[in-house]
Amino acid sequence: MSDDTAADGGEFSYDIARILKALPHRYPLLLVDKVKAIDLGESIHAVKAVSFNEEFFQGHFPGAPIMPGVLQVEAMAQAAAILGIETLELAGTGKLVFFMGIENAKFRAPVTPGCLLDLNVEFVQKRSRVYKFKGTASVEGKTTCQAEFTAMIGDPPK
């Protein structure tokens, strides 16, 4: 599948402008830069371009910068949120995707500045407003992080 067609053959353009419409996250916590492929109701392949300018590199770790594993999980969760929002056609409705749980998280290799972090996430289970996902983060085909996580779609807090 090319970068400009959806799994069903329909056109899509998941550049940063469309990501900003789907997610409420903003700098410095927006961790998805591009969606390369999406199969609505099934899976998503997104990318985070890891730059030395990321704020977390100032303290993690000076002289040996490594992207924190929890931020890799957050990046996968944001990709899952895009998948959920787009699948349910909720972009622009104000609905949010809330993290509920993380299971079986494993951190396999460091992510350093200059990497393109591939985020591959798929639905595992769908129930009403609660969804379970399985995700893998990788750099050049090498797994850096994997986890299963649960999220819920809801209204923003008042």
The single residue of 60, 95, 126, 129 carrying the catalytic annotation is 60
The DSSP secondary structure of 99-125, one letter per residue, reads EEEEEEEEE-S---TT-EEEEEEEEEE
Question: What dihedral angle (degrees, nearest 10) is formed by the CA atoms of 92, 37, 14, 132?
Answer: 30
The one-character DSSP state at 73 is H
Q: Is 4 helix (H, G, I), strand (E, B) or coil?
A: coil
144 sits in which H/E element: strand 142-154
Structure tokens at 116: 């393109």
25 is catalytic: no
Structure tokens at 1: 């599948």
- Residues with a catalytic annotation lie at 60
